[in-house]
Structure 1
């Protein structure tokens, strides 16, 4: 299992290399993908929320390990479409900051929600994250490539959260649970700072 995780992480890194290689080579589809990929990883709020989605999915286990992150990515794409179309979604930045607080708290408290409820919670927050990505799409970016970029980057961040949960869990049931909850607490506190404009 440990070697499979290492192989998976290496595969993710290898898959990300083309985005790095094309970082400065043109506009349109290439520019769109690079801008889309970089958007989720350029803000602490996006990174924390998406990693927490992965950790939350790991804590739930079973089908939730793939249903919860997949829901986030798909609903985020719909939110992105709204942003590109110029459809107003109120309180986007507040919703993003709250997602960090709530998801961090869920991880810290080790909430064992039903999978459907977990999908609903992450889906709600995904609308805000997606709208922010879509609304900030550069004019010279290809729309489909831009969307593919931010969806793939988000999936990587979810995978990082799942991997983090697994690695922490290997520390032992008691220590792993403590470290996971501590990580959720740190994320929630950071979310409060983001919400207050301190971070």
Structure 2
């Protein structure tokens, strides 16, 4: 993909970036359906979760295909429970914005870290995403069904990232995944400074 096309796609995606509905202060509803819908409500969550799938595919490792998405889903659930319990986590909004920026850069540059380091980076960012979801849940009575919906939707978003990366490999356009990572990074920067 030409650099000018990458820049145009990046600018368009960055222009779409805005505050996610997965942040504190919004009425989240309750139950499985609300939890399932919630990760789709904010561009920052969508981008981070898709980036994890793209990055996992770039690792060229079957273990990474399983471990990186799992390293997002499980710590996200832990972060959710911490937020629900009222346990403070510093700089949640900054952590979420940085997750979009950093994961986007990792995909854009097709960075291959040792699997343990990649898993740790993914898990750290997942805590912030989960915490944002947990702090905004207005009632705890349906927290488990809400969390189940959120975890299921997150797994689907990771799968979408994996499928997108696989498609770019099949049609011999790995630069398309890298361009998506660059666009994700630009959006993360916009979210971070916005």
TM-score (norm 1): 0.80
CA distance in 2, matches of 1:141, 1:93: 26
Greater Rg by CA: 1
Flag the 1:89–1:126 CA change in 2: closer, same or farther, 3 A. same
Residue 163 of structure 1 pairs with residue 160 of structure 2? no
Cα distance, 1:73 vs. partner? 0.3
CA distance in 2, matches of 1:87, 1:123: 18
Q: What is the root-mean-square deviation in Å for CA atoms of aligned residues?
A: 1.3
The unaligned stretches of length 5 or more in structure 1 are 1-29
Residue 190 of structure 1 pairs with residue 184 of structure 2? no
Cα distance, 1:114 vs. partner? 1.1
Deviations 1:90-145 (A, max 9, x none): 10011000000000000000001111111000000000000001111132750110
Map of 1:180 onto structure 2: 177
The unaligned stretches of length 5 or more in structure 2 are 1-28
CA distance in 1, matches of 2:176, 2:165: 9
CA distance in 2, matches of 1:142, 1:111: 39
Flag the 1:141–1:166 CA change in 2: closer, same or farther, 3 A. farther
The runs of at least 4 consecutive aligned structure 1 residues that moved more than 6 Å come to: none
Map of 1:118 onto structure 2: 118
Tell me, what secondary structure is at the counterpart of 2:139? coil
2:108 and 2:179 in contact (8 A); partners too: yes
Cα distance, 1:38 vs. partner? 1.4
